Amino acid sequence: FSVAQDFFGDLTTLSLAYARGWDSVGKRGQAESDWEDKDLQNYNLGLTQVITKNALFSIDVDVITDEGKLENPYRQNRYVDPNDSTAYLYQPEVYPDTRTSTALGFRGMYFLPYRASVKLEYRYFSDSWDIQANTYGVSYSHAFDESWIFETRLRYYEQDQARFYSDLFPFANSQTHVARDKELSTYSGITYGFGVSYEVKQGVIPFVKRLQLSLLADILDYDYENFRDVTASGSYLPGEEPLYELDAWVTRTSLIVEF
């Protein structure tokens, strides 16, 4: 649920939100009686302030608590083969049963006089697994005539690893919690995005209040500092494989019709 209240002549808005989710985690084919529960709660506090007729500023605080089966039952980590130091073996990942995450976000938007806007944002994240992350973003949106909107954006992300993460453990069960998920490693990356939207206004098409077609694309360039690509071609000793890199295009198309 969420509630919001305006103050000071509707120039300030304070909002509160709460969400809760439940899930059961297990492998396909596994008896459901052996599945384990997962519980999530999300608390949000937000403040939006109108600075001038062309400028907005907002702050959001999110606190998320996770409890239960938090690891992916299909994911594994690797360790050095005790009988052959040039090879490695796999074992299931084991995460802590609880996780508390806190995120603090700042956003500023300025509306330009020629039907355009600029948005700046920063987000800080930390959790009880010792992950700390920073996100920086800037975007620009420009409207042409009454139907076309073009936008471009740039996002930089960086994070430190979880305390129980390792690309290669020295031996099996070398510590209480073990993980090799690359999203828990140390990495950073840039996302370049751009998009175009075309909207048909009310009255152009009978019985249609609004029709909007959007095409968005993102270019992802991420480098991982301590997660290695074991699928790389060539002969490598454990822990000496090339570091993993992610280069990808992501495209999205949407059609919105309101009657």
What is the model's pLDDT at position 82?
Answer: 96
Lowest mean pLDDT among 32-36, 96-100, 224-228: 32-36
**pLDDT score, position 201:** 78
Which regions of 69-186 does DSSP assign to beta strands (E)? 76-81, 84-92, 98-112, 116-127, 132-144, 148-159
SS3 202: coil
* d(C-alpha 117, C-alpha 43), whole Å: 30
Q: What pLDDT is attached to residue 232? A: 93
pLDDT cut 70: percent of the chain above it: 100
Answer whether residue 146 shows pLDDT above 90.
Answer: no
Q: How confident is the model at residue 10 (pLDDT cuts 50, 70, 90)?
A: confident
Q: Which two tokens stand for residue 52?
A: 């001038």
- The whole-number average pLDDT for the span 236-251 is 96
Q: What percent of the chain clears pLDDT 90, i.e. is strictly above it?
A: 85
Residue from 95, 39, 100 nearest 68 by CA: 39
Q: Greater confidence, 55 or 30? A: 55
Q: Flag whether pLDDT at 202 surpasses 90.
A: no
pLDDT reading at 34 higher than 90? no
For residue 182, the tally of other CB atoms under 10 A from its CB is 19
Mean pLDDT computed over every residue of the chain? 95
Task: Provide the residue count of the chain.
Answer: 259
Q: Which two tokens mark 193?
A: 């995005």
Q: What value does the mean pLDDT take over residues 17-38?
A: 91
Q: What is the pLDDT of residues 176-195, one digit of tens each?
A: 999 999 999 999 999 999 99
Check residue 179 and give its pLDDT: 97
Please report the pLDDT score of residue 6 as a whole number.
92
Provide the residue ranges of all domains of the chain, joining segments of one domain with +. Answer: 56-258
Model pLDDT, residue 145:
82
Tell me the average pLDDT across 72-76.
94
Instruction: Give the whole-angstrom CA distance, residue 146 versus residue 69.
Output: 50
**If DSSP codes are grouped into helix, strand and coil, which group holds residue 183?**
helix
